[in-house]
């Protein structure tokens, strides 16, 4: 049975840090649960860290991977067994950094697409301290990067709301060009998509990552470098400044 992904229930779910779960399988140092708040590696976003507290005390979660069944990598001597009840807690500082970085990535990708002849995002990697995006076809000048930075930071200052919903492929395509949302990269078997929207269709993109509720939480972006990746592809790296808005996580256990 697939693990229930608690962080996907709504944008607000990304702000929860504590949850209850039951161990559903154990394979060495990898433990799966019936439900989890831990985000697994995927969609360019890095995994959450945190702890699981069970019958034998508190255990550190070192890595989280998987699609259907999400595997939490623990110390080999964890001693958890199928059926054990655990209390999970994610590292909020790391989670919120990923939320800020991921929403910033959507903004940058949208601005570049609109400003520079439909240049597409062809890859990205979200970390808590820095992130990167690959675009094609494009060759950035310093003036172009300055303009991207200006537009993105202006949108952040306007503090648009970020929401999510479920839409069909047809509904998404009716609102955004398929090239902008990279619809061709999604399996055709997937008919209903979780989409993240910024403002009133300022940006709309299928995404299973965690995101902030307001752009003001991001903090200004700073593009720190660019690199050619061949065949018309360029990679930009960026960091985020400390935001003016720092939300309090929801510590109520779910």
Three-state SS string over 144-208 comes to HHHHHHHHHHHHHHCCCEEEEEEEEHHHHHHHCCHHHHCHHHCCCCCCEEEEEEECCCCEEEECC
pLDDT at 32: 98
Give the DSSP letter string of 132-143: EEEEES----HH
pLDDT at 244: 84
Same domain? 228 vs 188: yes
Same domain? 102 vs 83: no
Provide the whole-model pTM: 0.96
Same domain? 60 vs 129: no
Where the chain has pLDDT below 50, the residues are: none
pLDDT at 195: 96
Q: Could you tell me the residue range of the domain that residue 145 belongs to?
A: 95-240
Spatial separation of the C-alpha atoms in residues 78 and 56, rounded to whole Å: 8
**End residue of a domain, out of 37, 65, 90:** 90
pLDDT at 178: 87
Number of structural domains (the chain) is 2
Same domain? 130 vs 216: yes
Same domain? 40 vs 123: no
* CATH, residue 164: 3.30.980.10
Same domain? 101 vs 222: yes
132-187 pLDDT per residue, tens = 999 999 999 999 999 999 999 999 999 999 999 999 999 999 998 888 888 887 88
Query: What are the tokens at 169?
Result: 């492929």
Query: What are the tokens at 160?
Result: 């648009």
Same domain? 100 vs 147: yes
Same domain? 115 vs 100: yes
Residue 154: inside a domain, yes or no?
Answer: yes
Same domain? 138 vs 207: yes
Spatial separation of the C-alpha atoms in residues 112 and 141, rounded to whole Å: 13
pLDDT at 254: 92
* CATH, residue 48: 2.40.30.130
Spatial separation of the C-alpha atoms in residues 207 and 11, rounded to whole Å: 11
For helices 92-115 and 142-157, what crossing angle results, to 10°? 120
**End residue of a domain, out of 36, 68, 90:** 90
Same domain? 106 vs 229: yes
**End residue of a domain, out of 90, 109, 144:** 90
Query: What are the tokens at 201?
Result: 């269709």
């Amino acid at each position: 049975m697939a693990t229930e992904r608690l962080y996907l229930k709504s944008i607000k779910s990304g702000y929860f840090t504590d949850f209850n779960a039951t161990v559903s399988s154990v394979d060495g140092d990898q433990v799966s649960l019936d439900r989890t708040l831990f985000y697994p590696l995927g969609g360019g976003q890095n995994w959450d860290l945190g702890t699981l507290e069970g019958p034998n005390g508190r255990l550190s979660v070192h890595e989280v991977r998987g699609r259907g069944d999400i595997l939490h990598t623990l110390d080999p001597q964890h001693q958890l067994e199928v059926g054990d009840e655990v209390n999970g807690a994610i590292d909020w500082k790391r989670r919120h950094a990923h939320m800020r970085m991921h929403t910033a990535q959507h903004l940058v990708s949208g601005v570049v697409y609109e400003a520079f002849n439909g240049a597409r995002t062809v890859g990205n990697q979200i970390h808590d301290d820095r992130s990167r995006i690959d675009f094609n076809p494009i060759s950035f000048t310093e003036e172009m990067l300055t303009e991207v930075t200006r537009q993105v930071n202006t949108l952040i200052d306007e503090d648009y709301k970020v929401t999510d919903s479920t839409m069909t492929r047809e509904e998404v395509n009716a609102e955004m060009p398929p090239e902008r949302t990279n619809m061709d990269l999604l399996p055709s078997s997937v008919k209903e998509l979780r989409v993240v929207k910024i403002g009133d269709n300022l940006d709309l993109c299928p995404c299973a990552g965690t995101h902030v509720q307001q752009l003001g939480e991001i903090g200004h972006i700073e593009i720190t470098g660019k690199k050619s990746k061949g065949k018309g592809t360029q990679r930009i790296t960026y960091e985020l400044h400390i935001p003016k808005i720092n939300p309090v996580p929801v510590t109520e256990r779910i």
